[in-house]
Amino acid sequence: MSPAPLTLALLACTDPTAETAAPADSHPPVESDTPPDSSETGPALETGETAHTGETADTSAAAPWNIVVVMTDDQRADTLWAMPTVTSEIVGLGVNFTNAHTSSPLCCPARAAFLSGGFSASDVGVLTNNEPNGGYSKLNDTLALAPRLYAAGWYTALVGKYMNQYAVDGRTYVPPGWSNWQATGSLRHYDDWDLIQGSSGASSSEGTLTTETRYETDAVFASAVGVAETAPEPFFLLVTPSAPHDPFEFDPAYAGMFDDFTYRDLAWDEADVSDKPAWVRAGGPMSEETIATIDAAARAQLRMLQSVDAGVASLLISLEARGVLDRTLIVYTSDNGYVWGEHRLLGKAVPYLPSVSVPLAVRGPGLAPSMVSGVVSANVDLAATIQQIAGISPHTEGKPLLDVLRGAATPDPGPRVLQGFEWSPMPWVAYETDRWRMTLWHTDEVELYDVVADPGEETNLAGAPPTESPFAEWLPLLTAARPLVQFGPASPPLLLGEPVSFQLTEQGGVAPFSWSVVKGALPDGLTLNAATGLISGTPTASGDFEARIMVEDSSPSPYDGKPHHFAVEYPFTVGAAAVHGRAKLERGAKGYQVRVALSRPADVVLRWGDDLSFDAASNRVQRPAFSGGDLDLVGVVPGRSVRWELTANGRVLGAGATTD
């Protein structure tokens, strides 16, 4: 499954100010300042208006660059040492961002932020990996980066993972804007996965699905090499192997590597978590079993990255052999990081540095080897930079980095915003600069760290913030920046015939809000107040129900102009009413008298003896409807023993026996 050993003899990147000859089938460069939906083609590098300042950024190229982005899955920022090709040929010959962070440390929202062109997860509307607030279908892909590049004359190709839930149902959807689409669908194992192939152009289309048994990482890079060898220029090639995401299955050729590796760095199995949120404190120190699991995952991920490193080598060689390497921007990054035991955790989706930090190294024309320590948003700023290089009108929240790549200081855009949603223990929003990181949790718990003095984030300063910290300034800003979410009873108790009222609650967003049932239905007899989120009424039918309830705010997203929204699936079970009351049988002048007192309306069933039911007209007690209060029923049963029982909705209220 592993490629043959590769050697590199790569050309040094040339200065783009030198004249370069474009192949005959390349798109001619033209100056363009067209809107995102323009059909004009021909990206120009002579001009490039930034999204935020309106200033012109001279890209100083006589012809468009090609762009290749390699984006891995769940790779820590501190693992490049295990990748000799990436280290020597991209990091060593390019710009290494040592403080690159993802805007949302979870696969689908991180990828959506990049694919959209550089917008936050909440603005794109892809908040997590699965329905109802995540998955590939939540991205409005008609406005995304690929169709805008395609409309500007670029050849666009995706090879590898797209977004979560893609093709898991067997669909072969190909999003708009892709000249060449070779996407990984359902990945059951690294040697058992679905491949969807096709192309779309300006509109979406359907591709073809095949089941693959090739090791996915090898197959992805083999296809990427094919694109690099044949794609007309300028081309945008996005290479997205699933590695080193779980399942942690590596090429057996690398089985002996990293057997002795253990990670025991800053904040690993943090001894004192008393200053952390309650959910972290509740976990306790890591067990030996947990430590063994983390160690095994770390070793497996490093082994999986060997296949990625070999794939990068083959890709660079193909670009060099074609003669286009010196006019191609090469980017290496990941969608999010991964926690290897820091703060007693494993995985991602949390605001701590190992989870949000990603590798980001860029090699390209005219870029001198350097290191950038300022905080940048890897997925959002990278997407903005691609638009700047392509010369298309910016549609992004990101900060273009071309000047930084050329040696300028990292601009200070103020605090960067990070978000986390359902895959975290609870929603959170964070601000960060080069020095300070501050997180506000849904529970109103706050964390503040000086990461210059405390890079492991082990001392939470929120309880006694230093005077020089931005705590007082940021707290109201973080409160206002909370993305819209909603909360409510997970399974409210509902009883047939019993009135109920309970409130769904939003947090974040901009009032006024609007509530609606967008899928399924509430139990019969209940209604949802569209303005307040109050569910009320009296259930009229028993059974199981499910309703997807969405709340929308009043702030339009800068991505597509639609309101921010958040949906929750609520299950409802309506059961029989629990009737409370008492009953007794008394000897009266006319016979036996049943006296019943119930606390609420209910259907009452009276049974006398084994086989007797009487009503008042015939001296037989029947099953009358009961509307509450006291009820007297009289029946004469002379000369025999009577057993009696009173039930209401299946609950026995009284029972006994007497003799005439």
Radius of gyration for the alpha carbons in the chain, expressed in angstroms and rounded: 32
> Are 365 and 434 in the same domain?
no
For residue 628, give the CATH number of its domain: 2.60.40
pLDDT band at 442 (very low <50, low <70, confident <90, very high): very high
Residue 170's pLDDT is 85
- 25 lies in some domain: no
Is 367 a residue whose pLDDT tops 50?
A: yes
Q: What is the mean pLDDT of the chain?
A: 83
Is 213 a residue whose pLDDT tops 90?
A: yes
> Are 489 and 504 in the same domain?
yes
For residue 224, give the CATH number of its domain: 3.40.720.10
> Are 109 and 178 in the same domain?
yes
Is 658 a residue whose pLDDT tops 80?
A: no
Relative orientation angle of helices 216-230 and 288-322, to the nearest 10 degrees: 20
Beta strands in 442-478 (DSSP E): 446-450
- pLDDT tens-place string over residues 18-72: 322 223 233 322 223 333 333 333 332 222 233 333 333 344 444 579 999 999 9
pLDDT band at 223 (very low <50, low <70, confident <90, very high): very high
- Beta bridge partners, 646, equal 606, 654
- 62 lies in some domain: no
Residue 365's pLDDT is 92
Is 122 a residue whose pLDDT tops 80?
A: yes
> Are 617 and 544 in the same domain?
no
Residue 360's pLDDT is 97
Phi, psi of 2 (to 5 degrees): -95, 145
> 85 CB contacts (<8 Å, ≥6 apart)?
6, 8, 309, 310, 312, 313, 316
Number of domain units in the chain: 4
Do 399 and 375 form a contact (C-beta atoms < 8 A)? no
- 255 lies in some domain: yes
Highest mean pLDDT among 276-280, 366-370, 411-415, 488-492: 276-280
- 568 lies in some domain: yes
CA distance 511 to 343: 36
Residue 115: closest CA among 240, 11, 301, 266 = 240
- 33 lies in some domain: no
Phi, psi of 361 (to 5 degrees): -130, 140
For residue 558, give the CATH number of its domain: 2.60.40.10
pLDDT band at 542 (very low <50, low <70, confident <90, very high): confident
- pLDDT tens-place string over residues 224-261: 999 999 999 999 999 999 999 999 999 999 999 999 99
Q: List the domain range (segments joined by +) for residue 500.
A: 485-575
- 8 lies in some domain: no
> Are 373 and 489 in the same domain?
no
CA distance 452 to 92: 25
> Are 453 and 565 in the same domain?
no
CA distance 347 to 174: 30
- Beta bridge partners, 648, equal 604, 651
β-pairing, 494-495 with 563-575?
A: parallel
Instruction: Note the Cα 337 to chain centre separation in Å.
Output: 14
Domain limit, last residue, from 531, 552, 575: 575
> Are 447 and 397 in the same domain?
no
> Are 263 and 328 in the same domain?
yes
Domain limit, last residue, from 558, 575, 592: 575
Q: How many helices (H) and strands (E) does the chain have?
A: 11, 38
- pLDDT tens-place string over residues 478-533: 999 999 999 877 667 788 888 899 999 999 999 999 999 999 999 999 999 999 99
Residue 632's pLDDT is 38
Residue 375's pLDDT is 86
> Are 500 and 605 in the same domain?
no
Report the share of the chain in percent with pLDDT over 90: 69
- pLDDT tens-place string over residues 601-634: 344 444 433 333 444 343 333 334 333 333 433 3
User: 620-659: string of b/e by CB count within 10 Å (b at 16+)?
Assistant: ebeeeebeeeebebebebeeeebebbbbbbeeebbeeeee
- 22 lies in some domain: no
Instruction: Note the Cα 523 to chain centre separation in Å.
Output: 30
Residue 487's pLDDT is 87
End-to-end CA, the chain: 91
> Are 599 and 465 in the same domain?
no
Q: How far is CA 410 from CA 102, 127, 344, 368, in A?
A: 17, 28, 33, 15
- 345 lies in some domain: yes
Domain limit, last residue, from 546, 575, 604: 575
Residue 137: closest CA among 165, 159, 114 = 165
Residue 67: closest CA among 319, 409, 372 = 319
Residue 14's pLDDT is 32
Residue 408's pLDDT is 86
- pLDDT tens-place string over residues 140-151: 999 999 999 999
> Are 516 and 627 in the same domain?
no
Looking at residues 196-210, what average pLDDT do you find? Answer: 96
HSE-CB at 450 with a 13 A cutoff on CA atoms is 11
Residue 653's pLDDT is 54
pLDDT band at 346 (very low <50, low <70, confident <90, very high): very high
CA distance 527 to 549: 12
> Are 161 and 210 in the same domain?
yes
